[in-house]
Structures are given as C-alpha cells and as structure tokens.
A and B are shown apart, each in its own frame.
Chain A
Amino acid sequence: MVLAELQDVHFTYAYADTPALKGVTLTLEQGMLHGIVGLNSSGKTTLCGLLRGIVPSFHHGELTGRTTILGRELADWNPDELATTIGCVFDNPFTQISGIRDTVFEEIAFGLENLGVAREDIITRVIQVIEQLGIEALAEKNPNELSGGQRQKVAFASIIAMDSDVIVIDEPTSQLDPEASEAVFEIIAGLKKLGKSIVLVEHKIDLVAEYADTVTVLHEGRVALTGTTREVLTDPRLRSFGVTPPQVTELAERLAASGRPLSRVPVTRAEAVELIGERMREEVGGGYRTA
C-alpha cells in the first residue's frame, strides 16, 4: 500500500494571504525513509501537518485537491485515529513537551497513557525507549529543566514509545550536537529496518544523503524535485531551490570544474572514497590504496 498520495493539493491557512501549498502532487511509498528538504516557508511543515491530519483538522484553512493516506481519503479519517496511526515529532521541542509531567519518565509515558495502554506495558516500553536513546540520566529529571538538545531527545522518545507504523519527523536534530544527531539518525534508520515508514524534514543534507531512500525538494509550495536520493541530490537545479548539495557532492563538482571529473557523482562519504580512490589509482598506476 502507498503511504500517501497527493494530487494537486492546495492549502491556504485561515487568515493567511498566500497559500502554503500550491498544487503538490507526490507519492510516498510505505517502508521507506523519505527526506523532505527546501527553504523555510517552502511548505515542508504544512506537508507534514497534512500527512498527520492536523492540517486541516487543527490548523484550519482551505484545502483542495486529493490527499489519500494509507489508501483512505483524508476526509474519511477520524483525526484521532490518524494521530495515533501517524506519530509526529515537531521541530520545536519546547512546544512538544506537555509541561504537565514532573519527570521525563512520565513525559514519555504520557502518550501511551492516553491510548489506554496497560500500566505494566507502559513501564516496560518506556524503559526500553530510554535505553534505546541512552537517556537514562534524564529519566528522573523535570522536563522543563532540560536543555534544548535534551528536550529534543525526550520528544523523540515519546514518539518512539507510541510505536506508530508511520512517523513524521520535523527537523529532529536542530538542537543536537553532531554525535547526538548521528545517534538520532541511527535510531531513525533502526525504525526503518523495523518496517516503519518515515517522513523526515531535515536541513542537514549530509545526513539526508546517507540515510534517506527518496528526497523531495519543496519550493514555494510546490514539488520542485522528487526521486531517489541520488537523482535529487545530484540534480544541477538543486541549488536554485535553495538546497546545498552534500559536501562530497560539492567536492565532486569542484573537481569537475577543475577538469578532474569523477566517473560518477557521489552523495555519501563511502561513495566519495570509492570514486576518488578509483581515480587516484588510475592516475598513479596503483600507487595509492584506499583505507
């Protein structure tokens, strides 16, 4: 089954002058990690809201076109049911934390309690998630006293605990250090291995290149580019939509510009090492060996 299918979707928030989505047509398959990139205000967060049904059920406005989620038209979904089917991590952890729970442990349990999960199961599940994210030291702390990065991890833990089949994640690493960002991406990759479908908005393009199966570039409320990660990130038009290619892709561009093109354009570090290594061996007749 297809995760989401959008046909010529337009959406204008109530009280807004201009539409946020201006004719989006897009198909997202299940079981994949879909990266969504683009400038701020290009429609990324609105798209996430639509997939989760909070647009238009919570954020009202004028919606036209056809949105089908897991085979059912958006209008036919009960918003509560959609909210439990599709988990969501917001970009601002300061708004996601409930603010009414005294400890991180209780905060992570909050969503499960609302679903009516049995108490013992909640405790097992929360402990499991806390270990998975390595936040044991935070478990007894008050969520309101955490740093931005710590809150982001807790917001993430709350969603993983819900165990939804589809997870929409809006910039999960904006306040995390590089090591923690990679840890979050490892978790996201792990969720994909479990068969979850993931829609991920992320500015850190090197991480998108490494982990995403497909990439969609939004620009001014429309789909500017969509396809496999490689197709999109090596597209010469990428920069014109405000997206910087991965560092290794830039490196390849620079080499090509100085008359030293690689046989293929890399998007990940491993590919870059392979392709540049290949070139170096040709150049010097096998004098170099890659690590």
Chain B
Amino acid sequence: MAIELHDVGFTYPDGSRAVSGVSLRVEDGERVAIVGQNGAGKTTTVKLMNGLLKPTEGEVIVDGESTAKRTTAQVARTVGYVFQNPDDQLFAADVRAEIEYLPRYLHWDDAKRETRVARAVELTGIAPHLDINPKDLPAAIRKFVAIAAVLVSECRYVILDEPTAGLDQRGFALLGTLLDRLQGEGIAVVTITHDMRFVVDTFSRVVAMAAGNVIADGPLPAVFCDDHVLNRSRIRRLEVAQVARDLRLGDQAVSIDDVVALIP
C-alpha cells in the first residue's frame, strides 16, 4: 500500500502553476518531511495526496486507486490532513463534539466510535480539554485537537502541515511520541515543515522542493549535506552543522550527534 505521485502537475484555475513533474512514493508506515521555501509547492503537493486537489497532469494513486476517480471525501478517509491553522478546521462547540463529528457523520456504532475517540484523545493528550470550546484553548492545544479530529478516522496516512509552529518543548515532545506511535501502527506521516531541528531529530527521509519541483528525496544527508539543494530550496543546515563547517570539519554533519563526534 502506498501513495504514489506519477509525474504530477497542477495548475490553479487562475493559470498559476504550483507544481510540475512531481514523482513521489510514500509507503505504509513511512515518515517523510517535505521542506522548502514558502511557495515551493509543498502544500499543493500534499493536497494532491489527499484528493483536496486533483492533478491537472499525471496521476495520483492512493492504495492502488487513482484519486481522479474518487471524491475528496473518499480519499480523505484514507489520507487525513491536519491543516496548518487549526481554526480552518475546527468548528464544533466543544472538543468532544469536534472529535466525535466524523464518527457520527459516518454512523459508526457506539462501541466503534468510543474506541476510536478514546484512542485519538489519548494519542494527542487532550483528555483534560474535552468539554472546552476549541476557540478558548491555547493555539498549541488547538493544534492537538485538530490532529485528534483527523486521527479518529481510520486513515492510513496522515498529513501534518507545520505541526511544530507555536509548540513549546512539551508540545514538541508530545508530537514526537505521537509520531512514534503512529509509525508503530503502520500509519504513514507526511509533514510539511520549516523546522529543521524537528526534521533532523524526527525524520530519516526528507523531500526538498523548489519552484514546484522535487529537487532532492532521500536520507537526511541528501538534503542537508548538499549545498546545491540547500541553496535552491533555501533550507539551512542546523546551527551546529554550520558551526562544524565554519570550523572546516567538513560538511557531512547533520545532527548535534554528528558534530559531537567530529570534534576532537
């Protein structure tokens, strides 16, 4: 099972071309970070993965079926999408209603609904907030509510758009645990992020995009040790990797561990 993008292009109705010639494959249980400047085509790419957008060229295949033949709602049941801004997604009067919305909409029986809701609540640590209106919660907790509202579905792939924006150290740790558990359950996670520390600490595969194209796809060094890729995608090495470079210790260091090992 996989999400496959075959030579995909997308042009918005106003004629602006967001992505072209994008080929990518995300396997079950895989974890992929998509990085690049604002406007590089990251959001368009993930919207193509979950059927919010249908390709204007090429083909997107989710678990063997082209998204062109399915409605967005059908694709979204397999590929969940957590928006960058939780306020684009949350609408119910309290957190519990927010999480229960999809199960009720799909007419799941009580037992199934309760099991799925309990799992989503537990994974995201939002149990203390169930009776509160999402609008009254701090942004970081709203983010986890938005994640829970997606995880309650039976999706096999989850897209997280800028999940660390506004998170403090505690939220960051919670997110890391959540990603590990999803991977343990075989659920793939695709993240768009500007947070390179998050990428280096949490991902082993990274896709760099620039001007609507994938310019690198592979293990961390494929992006973080390649000046050409870094320059084109406007990505920075981690601060410590830059220190190693400044000290002429080479450009192969990606993480703090790598740099510690390089210093005599």
Contacts and interface: CB of A to CB of B under 8 A. Distances in A.
Contacts of A283: 264
B243 A150 contact: no
A240 B139 CA distance: 22
Contacts of A177: 36-38, 194, 234
Contact of B239 (A203, A269, A280): A269
B138 A40 contact: yes
Given A40-B168, A150-B38, A260 B85 contact: no
Contact of B234 (A40, A94, A179, A246): A179
B168 A178 contact: no
Contacts of A269: 239, 242-243, 246
A106 B155 CA distance: 43
B132 to A, nearest CB: 12
Contacts of A254: 256, 260
Contacts of B194: 176-178, 181
A38 B171 CA distance: 12
A290 B236 CA distance: 20
A181 B165 CA distance: 12
A116 B141 CA distance: 40
A54 to B, nearest CB: 17
B247 A248 contact: no
Contacts of B247: 273, 276-277, 280, 288, 290-291
Contacts of B248: 288-291
Contacts, number: 110
Contact of A91 (B139, B170, B235, B238): B139
Given A94-B87, A269-B242, A269-B243, A41 B264 contact: no
A244 interface: yes
A45 B231 CA distance: 36
Contacts of A103: none
A276 B243 contact: yes
B52 interface: no
Interface in A122-180: 147-150, 171, 174-180
B235 to A, nearest CB: 7
Size bracket of the A interface: 35 or more
A258 B257 CA distance: 12
Nearest to B245: A291
B84 A251 contact: no
A247 B139 contact: no
Nearest to A176: B194
Contact of A180 (B38, B87, B240): B38
Contact of B170 (A40, A175, A178, A288): A40
A247 B165 contact: no
Contacts of B166: 40, 91, 171, 174, 203
A213 interface: no
A39 B235 CA distance: 27
A273 B240 contact: no
Interface in B229-264: 234-236, 238-240, 242-243, 245-248, 256, 259-260, 263-264
A261 to B, nearest CB: 12
A250 B168 contact: no
Contacts of A239: 169
A203 B168 contact: yes
Nearest to B242: A269
Interface of B: 36-39, 84-85, 87, 138-141, 162, 165-171, 194, 196-197, 234-236, 238-240, 242-243, 245-248, 256, 259-260, 263-264
24 contacts: A39-B170, A40-B168, A40-B171, A41-B138, A174-B165, A178-B235, A179-B37, A239-B169, A251-B240, A251-B243, A251-B259, A255-B260, A255-B263, A258-B260, A260-B263, A273-B243, A273-B246, A276-B243, A280-B263, A280-B264, A283-B264, A284-B264, A289-B248, A291-B245
Given A40-B139, A251-B260, 17 more contacts: A40-B168, A94-B85, A94-B87, A177-B38, A178-B234, A203-B168, A248-B240, A250-B240, A251-B240, A254-B260, A269-B242, A269-B246, A273-B246, A284-B264, A290-B248, A291-B245, A291-B247
Q: Which 10 A-B pairs have the closest CB atoms?
A: A247-B239, A40-B140, A273-B246, A177-B194, A39-B168, A174-B165, A149-B38, A247-B240, A272-B243, A174-B166
Interface of A: 38-41, 91-92, 94, 147-150, 171, 174-181, 203, 206, 239, 242-244, 246-248, 250-251, 254-255, 258, 260, 269, 272-273, 276-277, 279-280, 283-284, 288-291
